[in-house]
C-alpha cells in the first residue's frame, strides 16, 4: 500500500504571496491532519479533515485554511505569507482519526 504523499516537497515563496500544499492519504484513510514544524515552536497541530469536513482546528490565524475532497485528498492554503511561516508542513492520515496517524514526507516552505 502506498504511503502518504505530499507535493511539492520544497517551495520558496516571498512575503505576501500565497501557497497551496497538497496531501494524498493512504488509500482508505478518511482523516487527514496537518501540522507545522518549526525550530522555535516545534510541532503544532493546524487542522484535521474527516469526510470533507473540518473536525478540529489549532490556534493559527485565518490565513491558514484547508479543505478535503471526496477522494480524501487534502490541500492547505496559506495566504499573505509571512517570514514566520517558513516551516516543514506535515500531513498525516488515518482511517477514523482516532488511531495511529501515518505521516507524509512533508513540504519544506521557505518564505523570503
Closer of 92 and 111 to other proteins (Cβ):
92
CA separation for the pair 106, 86 (Å, rounded): 13
Out of 72, 101, 109, 111, name the contact with other proteins by CB under 8 A.
101
Report in angstroms how near the CB of residue 16 gets to other proteins at its nearest.
26
Report in angstroms how near the CB of residue 66 gets to other proteins at its nearest.
13
**Which segments within the chain are labelled E, that is strand?**
5-7, 10-13, 19-24, 31-38, 42-50, 53-57, 64-68, 74-78, 87-94, 102-103, 107-111
**38-97 positions binding other proteins, by CB under 8 A:** 42-43, 45, 48, 50, 55-56, 58, 88, 90, 92, 94, 96-97
Q: 73-99: string of b/e by CB count within 10 Å (b at 16+)?
A: bbbbebeebeeebbbebbbbbbeebee
Quick check: 110 binds other proteins (CB under 8 A)? Answer: no
Q: Binding residues for other proteins, per CB under 8 A?
A: 31-33, 35, 42-43, 45, 48, 50, 55-56, 58, 88, 90, 92, 94, 96-106, 108
Amino acid at each position: 500500500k502506498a504511503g502518504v504523499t505530499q507535493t511539492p516537497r520544497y517551495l520558496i515563496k516571498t512575503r505576501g504571496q500565497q501557497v497551496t500544499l497538497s496531501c494524498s492519504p493512504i488509500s482508505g484513510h478518511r482523516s487527514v491532519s496537518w501540522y507545522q514544524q518549526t525550530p522555535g515552536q516545534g510541532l503544532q497541530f493546524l487542522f484535521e479533515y474527516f469526510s470533507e469536513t473540518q473536525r478540529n482546528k489549532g490556534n493559527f490565524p485565518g490565513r491558514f485554511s484547508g479543505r478535503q475532497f471526496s477522494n480524501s485528498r487534502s490541500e492547505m492554503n496559506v495566504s499573505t505569507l509571512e517570514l514566520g511561516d517558513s516551516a516543514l508542513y506535515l500531513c498525516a492520515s488515518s482511517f477514523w482519526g482516532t488511531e495511529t496517524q501515518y505521516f507524509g514526507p512533508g513540504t519544506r516552505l521557505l518564505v523570503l
